[in-house]
Amino acid sequence: MEEVGMRYFKTAEGALVAKIWFGPSAEGAPGRAHGGALLTVLDEAMGAAAWVAGIPVLTARLETAFRRGVPLAVELLAETKLLQTGGRTLRIEGSITDRAGTLYAQANGVFARLTAGQVKTIFSRVTPA
């Protein structure tokens, strides 16, 4: 198993879901994933949900509530939902649960919509591998 992993899927309703797992390099408290790793996964999944919907964004604000410790080497789900997409900012929520529906963390974020010029500037700095 990889150290930290995400694999994305779209639901029939068009929402973005990721299967996620945390290995030993993501350990915070003994046997548990570090909160920063959880926050990073939520930020990534929530931003990706907007990009997949055709709305390029950057994170402006992210509030996270940690509900319980996440065990290492367990497959979890990061689920996202676009709540408000009009205007200059988007509101997106995300959560991390296990197969039984146990809630480990949830987040609410505000994401700034990028203009076509900003996207071009960002990607002009990227060199293909």
Q: Which residues participate in catalysis according to the annotation?
A: 43
Distance CA 49, CA 36 (A): 20
Amino acid of residue 83: L
Tokens 């290492």 correspond to 72
Taking residue 20's Cβ as centre, other Cβ atoms within 10 Å add up to: 24
Distance CA 62, CA 108 (A): 6
Per the CB < 8 A criterion, the answer to whether 16 and 48 are in contact is yes
